C-alpha cells in the first residue's frame, strides 16, 4: 500500500503547517462559507531542479530514466479550504499545489517552460492508513515527491488534494471511495488552488488545460472527478483528458470478487483488504446508513468495538527523528496489529482468517448475507463502469494484469467495455497494460520486467541472508510472493505515471 520510491529531498525546507479548520466566532445562523473558500494559503517551501534530480537519481530512487531530469524549480504551496462532507455540511480539507518556477530551474529548461501560463494536473493519491498524510510535505511523502518529479519539475502545475479526513481536515472520518464526495473535494481543491495562485503573485499561473490523474484509490477519484466535473461543473472547468491508474472503477465487481459471489462462494484474497474494508464500510455507513445496524454485523470480536474509529489514524510513541510518511504509516499499521485492533496479518489480506475462520476480521456468516445487502447496493452506486456517463474528454487507463491489490481483470476490462458501449473508442480511449508490450511498447515493458526481476532478486538475497540454511528454491518462492505483493504499491506506479504523462503530452502537442 505504501509507495516505496525514496525521493527524500534532504535540502527541502517545508514550513510547519499547523493551520486548522475551526469556528470563526460568527453566529451559527450565518450561511456557511462558499465551497473553495481559502482558510489558509502559504508558500511552504521551494525545491530546485538539482534537488529534484538528486531525489530521482542513482543514490536515491534511481528512476530518473522514467521521470527525466528536472527542468524547473518547484514552489511548494499549501492551501486549507472549505468544502462539503457527504451530508452537505461544511468541512475543511487541504491540498498541495506544486508550481513550476524559473527560480532554481535547469540551465537546459526551454524559455517559458517554468513560468507564465502552464497546464494543470490534478493528482489524487492512493490509499493510506496515516491520517497526517500531507502531499505538500514533498520531503517526507514519497508519492508526492514522485509526482513533483514527474509533473511539476517538467512544467505542469500540480494540485494534489489530501482528502477529507486527512491532514488538517475537520472531518473525523474519510469518505473513502465515495464517488460524489471525493469529486466534490477535488472540485473545491481546484477552486482553492486557482484562487490562491491568482492572489499569490506567482509568475506561474494556470492555462486552460486540466488533466486529471491518480493512482489506486486516486485512480478511482480522478475518474469520478472526470465524470462529475463534466456533469455538474462544465461551465467552470473543462477536462482536457484523464489518465486513471490502477483504480477500483468496478466497485461492485471488487466487492463481489472479494466476498466470493464471482467464485462459487469462495472469498478471494486481496492484499491490503483489512485496511481497505474498514475504510470502505465506515465511509458508506456514514454516507448511506445502510451497511449495518452495528459493526458487529460484519466484524468479528474484538475488532468490531473500534473498527469505525481506527482508520485513518496516527502512530503513538514515534521514534525521535521519524518523519517519512511511509515509515509512519507502516508504524501505525503495526500498532493496529499489536493493539489487536486488526488481525495479526502483516499482508493485511486475510480478512476471513488464515485458514478461514482463524483470527478473521470479518464474520464468516456475513458472506451469505452480502448478496442483496445495503453494502452491495452502495458498491453499485459507486461503480464507475456504468450509469450511462460518456466522457467527452479522452481517457487513458493504466495498470498491470498481475496486480494483486486492485485486480486488473476485475476493473480495466469492465471499464473499457463500458466506455466502448457508450461510444468511447479509438483515440478517445487508451489502455496500458504493463505486462503487455503491445500496449506499452517494448522499452517500457522491458524496463518493467527488469524492475520486477531486480526486486525479486533482492528479496531472495535478503531471505537467504536472514535464513542461511534455506535453499535457493525456497528463497525464490518467497521472493516471488513478495514481488507480487509489491507490484501495486511499488513497481507499477512510476511506469504508469510516465505512460500517463506521455499521453497528456501527446494531447498538448496535438493542440488539445
Three-state DSSP at 149 gives helix
| ∠ CA 390-395-401, rounded to 5° | 115
Q: Is the dihedral of CA 344, 349, 355, 356 positive or negative?
A: positive
pLDDT in tens, 18-35: 333 344 444 456 788 999
Cβ atoms 216, 405 nearer than 8 A: yes
pLDDT in tens, 220-240: 999 999 999 999 999 999 999
Q: Where are the beta strands (DSSP E) in 48-126?
A: 73-84, 90-101, 116-124
Is 80 exceeded by the pLDDT of residue 80?
yes
CA distances 258 to 253, 255, 351, 460, 495, Å, are: 8, 5, 10, 30, 27
Lowest pLDDT segment from 92-101, 171-180, 242-251, 343-352: 343-352
pLDDT band at 338 (very low <50, low <70, confident <90, very high): very high
Query: In terms of pTM, does the model score above 0.85?
Result: yes
Cβ atoms 67, 41 nearer than 8 A: no
Q: Give CA torsion, residues 281, 286, 289, 290, to 10 deg.
A: -10
Predicted pLDDT at 29: 61
Q: Tell me which DSSP letter residue 313 carries.
A: B
Q: Which residues contact 359 (CB under 8 A, 6 or more apart)?
A: 343, 344, 345, 350, 353
pLDDT average, residue stretch 471-489: 96
Q: Is the dihedral of CA 394, 400, 406, 411 positive or negative?
A: positive
**What does the mean pLDDT of the chain come to?**
93
pLDDT in tens, 375-430: 999 999 999 998 899 999 999 999 999 999 999 999 999 999 999 999 999 999 99
Query: What is the percent of the chain with per-residue pLDDT over 70, rounded to a whole number?
Result: 94
pLDDT in tens, 243-291: 999 999 999 999 999 999 988 878 888 999 999 999 999 999 999 999 9
Nearest CA among 392, 39, 301 for reference residue 192? 39
pLDDT in tens, 173-221: 999 999 999 999 999 999 999 999 999 999 999 999 999 999 999 999 9
| ∠ CA 416-422-427, rounded to 5° | 60
Cβ atoms 488, 405 nearer than 8 A: yes
Cβ atoms 242, 395 nearer than 8 A: yes
pLDDT average, residue stretch 313-336: 97
Q: Residue 364 is placed in which grid cell?
A: 464468516
Percent of residues in the chain assigned helix, strand, coil, to nearest 5: 40, 15, 45
- CA dist 338 and 346 (Å) reads 11
Predicted pLDDT at 414: 97
Residue 433 CB: number of other CB atoms within 10 A? 18
Predicted pLDDT at 204: 98
The H-or-E segment that residue 255 falls in is helix 251-258
pLDDT in tens, 428-451: 999 999 999 999 999 999 999 999
Amino acid at each position: 500500500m505504501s509507495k516505496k520510491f525514496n525521493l527524500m529531498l534532504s535540502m527541502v525546507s517545508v514550513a510547519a503547517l499547523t493551520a486548522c479548520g475551526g469556528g470563526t466566532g460568527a453566529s451559527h445562523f450565518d450561511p456557511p462559507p462558499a465551497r473553495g473558500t481559502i482558510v489558509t494559503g502559504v508558500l511552504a517551501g521551494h525545491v530546485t531542479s538539482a534537488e529534484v534530480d538528486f531525489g530521482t537519481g542513482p543514490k536515491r530512487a534511481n528512476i530518473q530514466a522514467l521521470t527525466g531530469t528536472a527542468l524547473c524549480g518547484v514552489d511548494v504551496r499549501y492551501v486549507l479550504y472549505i468544502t462539503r462532507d457527504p451530508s452537505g455540511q461544511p468541512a475543511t480539507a487541504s491540498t498541495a499545489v506544486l508550481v513550476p518556477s524559473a527560480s532554481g530551474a535547469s540551465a537546459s529548461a526551454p524559455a517559458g517552460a517554468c513560468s507564465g501560463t502552464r497546464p494543470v494536473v490534478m493528482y489524487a493519491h492512493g490509499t493510506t492508513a496515516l491520517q497526517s498524510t500531507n502531499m505538500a510535505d514533498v520531503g517526507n511523502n514519497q508519492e508526492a515527491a514522485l509526482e513533483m518529479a514527474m509533473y511539476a519539475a517538467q512544467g505542469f502545475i500540480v494540485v494534489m488534494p489530501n482528502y477529507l479526513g486527512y491532514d488538517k481536515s475537520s472531518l473525523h472520518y474519510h469518505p473513502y471511495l465515495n464517488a460524489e464526495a471525493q469529486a466534490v473535494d477535488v472540485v473545491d481543491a481546484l477552486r482553492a488552488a486557482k484562487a490562491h495562485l491568482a492572489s499569490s503573485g506567482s509568475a506561474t499561473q494556470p492555462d486552460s488545460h486540466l488533466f486529471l490523474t491518480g493512482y489506486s484509490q486516486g485512480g478511482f477519484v480522478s475518474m469520478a472527478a472526470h465524470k462529475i466535473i463534466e456533469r455538474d461543473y462544465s461551465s467552470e472547468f473543462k477536462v482536457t483528458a484523464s489518465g486513471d491508474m490502477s483504480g477500483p472503477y468496478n466497485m461492485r465487481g471488487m466487492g463481489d470478487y472479494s466476498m466470493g459471489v464471482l467464485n462459487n462462494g469462495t472469498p478471494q484474497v486481496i492484499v491490503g483488504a483489512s485496511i481497505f474494508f474498514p475504510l470502505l464500510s465506515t465511509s458508506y455507513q456514514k454516507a448511506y446508513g445502510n451497511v449495518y445496524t452495528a459493526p458487529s454485523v460484519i466484524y468479528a470480536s474484538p475488532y468490531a468495538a473500534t473498527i469505525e474509529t481506527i482508520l485513518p489514524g496516527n502512530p503513538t510513541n514515534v521514534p525521535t527523528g521519524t518523519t517519512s510518511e511511509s515509515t509512519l504509516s507502516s508504524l501505525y499499521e503495526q500498532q493496529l496489529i499489536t493493539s489487536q485492533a486488526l488481525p495479526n496479518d502483516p499482508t493485511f489480506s486475510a480478512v476471513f482468517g488464515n485458514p478461514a475462520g482463524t483470527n478473521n476480521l470479518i464474520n464468516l456468516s456475513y458472506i451469505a448475507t452480502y448478496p442483496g445487502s445495503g453494502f452491495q447496493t452502495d458498491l453499485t452506486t459507486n461503480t464507475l463502469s456504468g450509469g450511462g456517463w460518456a466522457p467527452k474528454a479522452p481517457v487513458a487507463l493504466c495498470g498491470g494484469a498481475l496486480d494483486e491489490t486492485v485486480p486488473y481483470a476485475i476493473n480495466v476490462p469492465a471499464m473499457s467495455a463500458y466506455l466502448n458501449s457508450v461510444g468511447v473508442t479509438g483515440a478517445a480511449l487508451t489502455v496500458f497494460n504493463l505486462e503487455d508490450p503491445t500496449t506499452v511498447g517494448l522499452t517500457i515493458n522491458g524496463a518493467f520486467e527488469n524492475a520486477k526481476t531486480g526486486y525479486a532478486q533482492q528479496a531472495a538475497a535478503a531471505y537467504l541472508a536472514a535464513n542461511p540454511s534455506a535453499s535457493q528454491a525456497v528463497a525464490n518462492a518467497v521472493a516471488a510472493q513478495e514481488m507480487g505483493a509489491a507490484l501495486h504499491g511499488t513497481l507499477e506506479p512510476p511506469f504508469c505515471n510516465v505512460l500517463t504523462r506521455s499521453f497528456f503530452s501527446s494531447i498538448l502537442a496535438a493542440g488539445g
